[in-house]
Amino acid sequence: MKQEPILIAENIDKSFGSFLALDKFEAEIPRGVTGLLGPNGAGKTTFIRALLGIHPFDDGKIHFMDYELPRDLLIVKDRLGYQPEVDTKIRKTSAMRYVTHMASLAGLPRSAARQRSFDTLHYVGLEEARYRDMNTFSQGMMQKVKLATALVHDPLLLILDEPTAGCDPKSHKQILDLIADLGNAHGKNIVVSTHLLPDIEKTADYVVVMSNGSRVIQGDLKTILTQSDEVVTLQVRISGNHQSFANKMKDIGFDITTVSDNQINCIMRSDQELDNFQIFKLAKENKVNIRMMTPYKQSLEDVFIDAVTNGGNSNGH
């Protein structure tokens, strides 16, 4: 069930010269873990930076709880935690000193900042490296430092921009596990901005997909993936010409989605047994052998590609 929104974006425009980076962007971010998805250049980072006041938007409004941006920017910034995509480190500085400094900037008293930094670095798995110079850290360790920095002042909303970028497989899994734990066990509100679909499938309950500065689809992840029992692709491979056979399938009422040199994809209808019978009958009539016929349920990748390619459902779900 969809939670009440913690953040609502209304008709956000942002231009850089003649380039329109956000075009009437609208989205609702519920409580819990939300994936902000889109190809590179979709506008994800621009929206995040507009929310943080780094790139003030040209038009529109953002509502965060009982506050409104840009009017209440200074109040809202204190309630956000941000993990940027770019590296953030100071020469010859330990992770402990750096996170403590950032906690102090967020308003924590010095003693509380040190204790919170100590505990947060332990939580993200850097307890044995907290006093090491960050310039000796791997990319995975740096991502954990950035996560600790975003988390240290206990914000109401965590915003993580490409949180697994550059990680080795072990660190990648550890960070995804941390995000899932923060959302599930600790009840944190999190926006994970990424172009990596598996990361969203493993961590998020809700998804907003962007393309060309606009939202193309949003909704509960499980609902999107199971919108209807009919949204199942039937994959068919034959021994003859796939395009010719696809045309014959279309003639008898099948909705053909894609055809390649070795496979036909079509949308299954309500009666799977009847579909199978008609395809086998068509193959027999045309002296074609069916090599494979397999139903395939819709994945997040399918939804993503369809939304970005065809514009998805601009009204959301």
Predicted pLDDT at 231: 57
φ/ψ of 90, rounded to 5, equals -115, 140
Is residue 288 over pLDDT 60?
A: yes
* CATH number (domain holding residue 237): 3.30.70.270
Asked whether residue 305 is domain-assigned, the answer is no
Distance CA 118, CA 142 (A): 16
Domain edge (last residue) among 208, 225, 242: 225
As a residue count, the chain comes to 317
Q: How does strand 33-37 pair with strand 206-211?
A: parallel
Place of tokens 């994800």: 44
Q: Please check whether residues 183 and 104 belong to one and the same domain.
A: yes
Range with the poorest average pLDDT among 79-93, 252-266, 297-311: 297-311
Is residue 298 over pLDDT 90?
A: no
Q: Please check whether residues 117 and 184 belong to one and the same domain.
A: yes
Q: What is the pLDDT of residues 162-202, one digit of tens each?
A: 999 999 999 999 999 999 999 999 999 999 999 888 899 89
Predicted pLDDT at 159: 98
Q: Please check whether residues 250 and 210 belong to one and the same domain.
A: no
Distance CA 139, CA 144 (A): 9
Predicted pLDDT at 90: 81
Predicted pLDDT at 29: 95
Rounded mean pLDDT of 103-110? 95
Q: Please check whether residues 30 and 102 belong to one and the same domain.
A: yes
Structure tokens at 277: 């019978």
Closest CA to 98 of 162, 146, 139, 167: 146
Q: Please check whether residues 52 and 91 belong to one and the same domain.
A: yes
Q: Please check whether residues 20 and 41 belong to one and the same domain.
A: yes
Q: What is the pLDDT of residues 33-58, one digit of tens each?
A: 999 998 888 999 999 999 999 999 99
Rounded mean pLDDT of 275-282? 91
Q: Please check whether residues 242 and 105 belong to one and the same domain.
A: no
Asked whether residue 302 is domain-assigned, the answer is no
Asked whether residue 149 is domain-assigned, the answer is yes
Domain edge (last residue) among 161, 196, 225: 225
Asked whether residue 304 is domain-assigned, the answer is no
* CATH number (domain holding residue 126): 3.40.50.300
Asked whether residue 94 is domain-assigned, the answer is yes
**Residues β-bridged to residue 265:** 235, 258
Question: Residue 53: CB partners within 8 Å, gap ≥ 6?
Answer: 69, 70, 73, 77
Q: Please check whether residues 242 and 204 belong to one and the same domain.
A: no
Asked whether residue 312 is domain-assigned, the answer is no
Q: Please check whether residues 205 and 248 belong to one and the same domain.
A: no
Q: Please check whether residues 147 and 197 belong to one and the same domain.
A: yes
Distance CA 208, CA 194 (A): 11
Residues of the domain holding 277 = 232-297
Q: Please check whether residues 142 and 258 belong to one and the same domain.
A: no
Distance CA 10, CA 248 (A): 47
Question: How many CB atoms sit inside 10 A of residue 219's CB?
Answer: 19
Domain edge (last residue) among 185, 202, 225: 225
Asked whether residue 313 is domain-assigned, the answer is no
Q: What is the pLDDT of residues 220-242, one digit of tens each?
A: 988 777 654 445 778 899 998 99
Q: Please check whether residues 150 and 183 belong to one and the same domain.
A: yes
Asked whether residue 308 is domain-assigned, the answer is no
Predicted pLDDT at 21: 96
φ/ψ of 144, rounded to 5, equals -70, -40
Structural domain count of the chain: 2
Predicted pLDDT at 226: 64
